[in-house]
């Protein structure tokens, strides 16, 4: 396999390049630290080379309450290997008997131990869960908000946790805004509409965009990250569903003709099916996609991306057909699988650019591009921002209505991108 593909797969799955997924059954479930160091010499070397964090040492030594640090890791995960050994060395150096450490290893399919995945609501490793007197006071998932897990631990113990901006690299902010959802996606949102969505669009080096959206609904909340290159070709889609204590995360990597997806959450493994055409819940998915295809995630801000780019259509008015990867909104995921979150499916769609018209929304007035199409027998139509290709108003392919309530443009950054992040 192409080394770059291996590298990308490892990045998204958490596996270490050049280090095959080991059948280490004794490193799944509760693990004794000494057995961890014995089984994984590279981790022991990382611990031995690390210097204990002074601030974390002071915070752990001064603690008077009973503290439990539950460290969830994968023996196959390079992020676990990099971050956990220094943390464990710092805790050991603090020597506070009131601080207890629990190590829990997960298998490389993220299905065992199922009781821990469900109880701790796990979606990625490493995960550090911090409890004071038996009550969770904070956690760190996958990557820290500060420079290290130790830095995040200090902030959590001081009751000043840092907000995490997400792990994905990005360039300058191009735009941010907010939508109101009129129907099909619950909860009261902007201006009395049902549902709301906040989004940010960042430039990427070499062109293209990274979209971040947070969607509030009656059926659960959804966080989205989507990456598109300068030609509109998707490379990444990450969806995280939350509903009360339930959580699920789906990551999709598109590299050439391959779309690989992983679903993780506290219901992972229940009725799982590794066959994309099989019955039941799918936890992993491997599909072959054509050179030009579109993504259809449950997000208003992403509803225009990919359609005009999918076949290099430019802005002509011919009707085009395109294979589309459709991911359901939270309500469908919850009702259709008995749990929150599900992987998507491929479906044919057609669309055309129907012309230009001036559109006024609470966010302002602009000369918009009108997009019309159909998917699964359902028509959709929306007016797109001419540079960002985000809907201003309309009905999306998931059946919901949306209207742009607020938009801020970073004019200097957009000008540096040639007025648009997309290639002409």
| 424 inside domain | no
| Residue range 265-321, pLDDT digits in tens | 755 544 444 433 333 345 789 999 998 888 889 889 988 876 655 444 455 567 788
Residue 43 has pLDDT above 50, yes or no: yes
The total domain count for the chain is: 2
Of the segments 34-43, 114-123, 236-245, 395-404, which one has the largest average pLDDT value?
34-43
135 with 202, same domain: the answer is no
Which structural domain range is residue 333 located in? 173-416
Q: Where residue 64 sits, what CATH number does that domain have?
A: 3.40.30.10
User: Burial level of 282, CB count in 10 A (0-12/13-18/19+)?
Assistant: buried
Predicted pLDDT at 221:
86
Q: Say if strands 364-375 and 378-384 run parallel, antiparallel, or are unpaired.
A: antiparallel
206 with 238, same domain: the answer is yes
| Residue range 66-106, pLDDT digits in tens | 999 999 999 999 899 999 999 999 999 999 999 999 999 99
Percentage of the chain exceeding pLDDT 90? 39
Q: Answer with the one of 157, 188, 219 that is the final residue of a domain.
A: 157
| 164 inside domain | no
207 with 353, same domain: the answer is yes
Residue 23 has pLDDT above 50, yes or no: no
150 with 247, same domain: the answer is no
187 with 111, same domain: the answer is no
Contact 284, 261 (CB under 8 A): yes
Q: Is 82 left (phi over 0), alpha (psi -120 to 50) or beta?
A: alpha
| 167 inside domain | no
């Amino acid at each position: 396999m192409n080394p770059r593909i291996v590298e990308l797969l490892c990045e998204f799955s958490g596996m270490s390049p050049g280090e095959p997924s080991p059948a280490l059954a004794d490193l799944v479930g509760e693990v004794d630290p000494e057995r961890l160091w014995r089984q994984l010499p590279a981790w022991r070397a990382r611990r031995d080379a690390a210097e204990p964090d002074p601030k974390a040492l002071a915070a752990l030594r001064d603690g008077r309450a009973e503290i439990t640090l539950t460290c969830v890791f994968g023996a196959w995960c390079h992020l676990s290997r990099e971050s956990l050994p220094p943390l464990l060395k710092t805790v050991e150096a603090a020597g506070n008997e009131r601080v207890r450490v629990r190590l829990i290893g997960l298998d490389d399919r993220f299905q065992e131990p199922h009781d821990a995945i469900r109880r701790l609501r796990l979606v990625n490793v490493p995960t550090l869960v911090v409890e004071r007197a038996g009550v969770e006071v904070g956690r760190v998932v996958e990557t820290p908000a500060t420079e290290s897990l130790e830095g995040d631990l200090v902030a959590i113990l001081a009751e000043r946790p840092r907000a995490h901006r997400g792990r994905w690299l990005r360039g300058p902010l191009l735009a941010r805004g907010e939508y109101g959802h009129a129907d099909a996606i619950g909860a009261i949102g902007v201006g009395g509409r049902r549902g709301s969505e906040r989004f940010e669009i960042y430039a990427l080096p070499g062109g293209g965009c990274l979209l971040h959206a947070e969607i509030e609904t009656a059926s659960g909340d959804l966080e989205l990250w989507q990456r598109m290159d300068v030609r509109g070709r998707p490379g990444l889609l990450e969806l995280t569903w939350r509903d009360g204590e339930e959580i699920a995360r789906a990551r999709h990597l598109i590299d050439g003709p391959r779309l690989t997806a992983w679903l993780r959450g506290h219901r992972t493994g229940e009725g799982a099916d590794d066959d994309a055409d099989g019955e039941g819940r799918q936890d992993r998915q491997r599909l072959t996609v054509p050179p030009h295809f579109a993504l259809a995630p449950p997000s208003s801000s992403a509803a225009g991306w990919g359609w005009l780019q999918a076949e290099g259509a430019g802005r002509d008015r011919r009707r085009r057909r395109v294979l589309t990867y459709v991911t359901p909104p939270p309500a469908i995921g919850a009702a259709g699988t008995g749990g929150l979150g599900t992987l998507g499916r491929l479906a044919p769609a057609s669309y055309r650019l129907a012309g230009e018209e001036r559109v006024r929304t609470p966010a302002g007035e602009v000369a918009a591009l009108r997009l019309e199409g159909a998917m699964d027998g359902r028509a959709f139509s929306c007016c797109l921002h001419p540079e960002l290709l985000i809907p201003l108003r309309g009905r999306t392919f998931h059946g919901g209505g949306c209207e742009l309530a607020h938009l801020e443009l970073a004019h200097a950054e957009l000008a540096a991108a040639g007025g648009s992040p997309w290639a002409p």
